[in-house]
Amino acid sequence: MKKIMVWLLSLTLMMTVIAGCSNEQDNSNNTGATTGDAANANETSDTNTTKGELVFWTPFGGGDYEFMKEMVDEYNSTSPEYTVEIVSKAWDTYYQGINGALISQSGPDVFITHQSKLAELIPTQQLQNIQEINSSIDWNEYNESQLAGVTVDDVQYAVPLDTHAAVMFYNNEILERANLTAEDLASANDMESWNNILEALLPVISQDEHVLDIANSGANTVQQFWSWYVLAVQDGGGYLEGDTVIMNDEPGVEALDILIDWKEKGYLKSGIDDGASYDIFKSGKAAINFTGVWATGNYETNPDLDFGVMPIPAINGQQKTWGDSHTFAIPSYVDGERQEAALYFADWINSHAVTWAKAGHVPAKKTVTESEEYLNLPYRSDYAKVVDQVVYYPSNEKLWSANDIAAKLINTAFIGDITSQEALDLAKEEIEAIME
Amino acid sequence: MSTNRIKSSYNSWKAAFVFLFPFMLLYGFFTIYPLFNGFIMSFHTGRFGIGEEFVGLANYIKMFSDKHFYGALLNTLFFVAISTPLIVVFGLLFAVISNSRFKGANFVKIATFLPYVLSISVITSVWVYIFKPHIGLLNNVLMNIGLISEQIMWFDNSLFAWTTITVATLWWTIGFNMIILIAGLQDIPHSLYEASSIDGANRLQQFLFITLPSLSGVLKMVILLQVIASFKLFGQPWLMTGGGPGNSTTPMVQYIYETGFRDWNSGYASTLSYMLLFIMVIVAMIYNRLTKEKEV
């Protein structure tokens, strides 16, 4: 009897271990999602008409996830051939997971990737050429610059979903104190008028308020990097050209000096970390906030905040800004019929992306951005034209590594440890070293 | 041996194997195999999973002229040197308090241990919220009581940044050492204290001449464990300071992570990992030599 018990127990143990291992593939960390539980095949309601289920990986959490899930649920309710299971993966390790999936040829059927990450994923040779998949998609419905962004050497590697760019949020109440209006901000098309605005705002803010709110401290200073990027590209400068760094040319150095000047004049205080940059503007303590369009949904949730949003004016030359895109990519290891289903799904989401616009992003289809429903959304249509002002990152396999290095060195100069020229020269040296 | 004894010994082995098998399978696959594979990877270069090529000792040679390697190593050694004494001393302090007879002792024990149960994301979130300028707790409190008139930029200065990391680590881990030391304290026979107080010893003398020597075995283990844990520092700087400002709080493990999982240079990352392992083994060997009990 005892022997049987021993064998039964060990069998149970082994089964638990094996079951746990197989669940590992689809289960992932859900970041704040309420219903994103990724157990296998529990979304399929009608097993008669559905052929199967596509697994859809996203790095979205919070509001982004809720909006995307809303659209996926709507898609599933149309009883498609293949239903879709959306997975909310932890942002911190998202691309490590994607790389792992592509290299091992085992993972999602369709996934979200940034347009700027495509160059890193293409060498895995696991990104399906979209044009080779059977579909009846009308590509004319898509914004041209977005389509160009996902095409490398005449191969289309992804389907654009949105553009998200750096824009300017402003607090109407604080502007009023200085007798300024949104019009004044919009027409600040050179450095002089911009400086006049900053000068006018400084005396009317209290000790715990800010004129400019840009994240410039702590674990994640990417927003400061984007602000540098905006100023540099407005002046005709750049970041990378192929594997050569050009950020330490004159426009780049001047752009960094401008940021430091804002600090020294008291417009931009040190010590604002990434999280604080949202909290400070949201609680009404900043006149102007440079951040991404995705903050719109967050700021809207404070009814006491009287704010507006517009594309960043041409303070340093031409009206250009930083931006990136979310796109849908389909791995090559997915078999033919499922690839078609995935592509159909991506296009369907794009047609219904007015919901996605609520998250703040600018949808990729012109049919959506020109629709009445989209234009009636508060704030979003104010910055829709930013899509054509974005200077996309150059296509580079080591781009995100370069961004990391650049952000750290720009921050070091901002803190005052080294000069702008020194920082950007070092950036050139270090980035080119990892480009080999 | 009788057949019964042979049979029962074989049966025990059978049972042992059955129980150990699931674990050994996972352990072999996820720990032993990567250990060997990583060593082999350290002699290769190229992008992980896509195009690796054998380059012999090139990675090791590269490492010795890599200023980032030295920077990260120094950062790790710095953290080991400052955090270990602090965590051990405070662990001991709280152990003594928790083990004493005063009324709040049990509460102190629970309160000190509780943070250890939390995950790294939670504790770093909490401490970033405390330290962040403008809207964080600490600066606001210090300003309200008049100790400072300007914001302290906790994350813009290397020393301050290390302070935030060390404070968060202290709060998080002294509980663990405390528990081990409490066990050590409870092993000390009470009669020693009674006898010494009859002879007129005061509390400090009792602590120095009874408590500490009796704890020496446990203390040695606690210190070694803490040194090893500090060498593996990653989460706190990664989540609190990003390794910054610049690279001033970037420890070895972060450099390894960035090389392997951001730049996808798995070969060089493996090289760095094995170097870290080698250094830790040397440190452990030196430590064992220094703390060897003299044979009686």
Of A280, A412, A415, the CB nearest to B134: A280
Looking at the fold, whether A42 and A187 belong to one and the same domain comes out as: no
In a shared domain, residues A88 and A174: no
Whether residue B27 lies within 8 A of chain A, CB to CB, comes out as no
Q: How far apart, in whole angstroms, are the C-alpha atoms of residue A394 and residue A224?
A: 19
A239, A174: one domain:
yes
Residues A269 and A417 in one domain: yes
**Confidence at A293, pLDDT banded by 50, 70, 90:** very high
A150 and A188 together in one domain: no
Q: Identify whether A266 is part of a domain.
A: yes
Contact between B166 and B90 under an 8 Å Cβ cutoff? The reply is no
Count Cβ neighbours within 10 Å for each residue of B160-185 and write b for 16 or more, e otherwise: bbbebbbbbbebbbbbbbbbbbbebb
- Residue ranges of the domains in chain B? 62-290
- pLDDT reported for residue A11: 79
CB A35 within 8 A of CB A43: no
Residue A2: other Cβ atoms inside 10 A: 7
The answer as to whether A274 is a domain residue is: yes
**A202 touches A218 (CB < 8 A):** no
Helices (H) and strands (E) in chain A, counts: 18, 13
- pLDDT the model gives residue A400: 97
Q: How far apart are CA A369 and CA A385, in angstroms?
A: 10
pTM of the predicted structure, to 2 decimals = 0.89
Q: Is the pLDDT of residue A204 over 60?
A: yes
pLDDT (average), residues A363-384? 92
The count of domains in chain A is 2
The CA-based dihedral angle spanning residues A398, A401, A406, A409, taken in that order and rounded to the nearest 10 degrees:
-140
- A16 versus A274: the higher-pLDDT residue is A274
pLDDT tens-digit map of A314-353: 999 999 999 999 999 999 999 989 999 999 999 999 999 9
Residue A297 belongs to domain spanning: 165-322+392-435
Which residues of B fall within a CB distance of 8 Å from A124? 49-50
Residues A283 and A263 occupy one common structural domain: yes
Closest chain A residue to the Cα of B243, Cα to Cα: A219
Cα–Cα dist B40/B59, whole Å: 12
Residues A36 and A102 in one domain: yes
Nearest to B263 among A218, A271, A398 (CB): A398
Report phi then psi at A208, rounded to 5. -100, 20
| pLDDT over 90, % of chain A | 83
Q: Which two tokens stand for residue B282?
A: 């040397």
Say if residue A259 is in the same domain as residue A110: no
Decide if B44 touches A, using CB distance below 8 A. no
Q: Does residue A20 form part of some domain?
A: no
Tens-place pLDDT, residues A294-323: 999 899 999 999 999 999 999 999 999 999
Comparing CB atoms, the residue among B15, B134, B242 nearest residue A6 is B15
Q: Are strands A151-152 and A155-156 parallel, antiparallel or unpaired?
A: antiparallel
A304 in a domain, yes or no?
yes
Which pLDDT does position B2 carry in this prediction? 67
B19 inside 8 A of chain A by CB: yes
Is there a domain that residue A336 lies in? Answer: yes
Query: Does B15 contact chain A (CB < 8 Å)?
Result: yes
Identify the pLDDT of residue A23.
Answer: 43
Average pLDDT over residues A62-71: 92
Same domain (yes/no): A331, A409: no
Same domain, A245 and A114: no
Confidence of residue A48 (pLDDT cuts 50, 70, 90): low
Cβ contact, residue pair A219, B242, below 8 Å: yes
In a domain, residue A380? The reply is no
Per the CB < 8 Å rule, is A417 touching B245?
yes
Q: Residue A129 domain-assigned?
A: yes
Residue A360 forms part of a structural domain: no
- The answer to whether A411 contacts B155, with C-beta atoms less than 8 Å apart, is no
Buried b (16+ CB within 10 A) or exposed e, B223-245: bbebbebbbebbbbbbbbbbbbb
User: Strand, helix or coil at A127?
Assistant: strand
**CA distance, residue B91 to nearest chain A CA (Å):** 29
Are residues A332 and A317 located together in one domain of the fold?
no
Distance of CA A145 to the CA centre of its chain: 17
Q: What's residue A383's pLDDT?
A: 87
List chain B pLDDT tens, one digit each, 296 residues. Answer: 567 777 778 888 899 999 999 999 999 999 999 999 999 999 999 898 888 899 999 999 999 999 999 999 999 999 999 999 999 999 999 999 999 888 999 999 999 999 999 999 999 999 999 999 999 999 999 999 999 999 999 999 999 999 999 999 999 999 999 999 999 999 999 999 999 999 998 989 999 999 999 999 999 999 999 999 999 999 999 999 999 899 999 999 999 999 999 999 999 999 999 999 999 999 999 999 998 865 54
Minimum Cα–Cα distance from B121: chain A residue: A92
Q: Which of A115-124, A175-184, A402-411, B5-14 has the lowest mean pLDDT?
A: B5-14
Q: Are residue A75 and residue A198 in the same domain, yes or no?
A: no
CATH fold group of domain B62-290: MetI-like fold (1.10.3720)
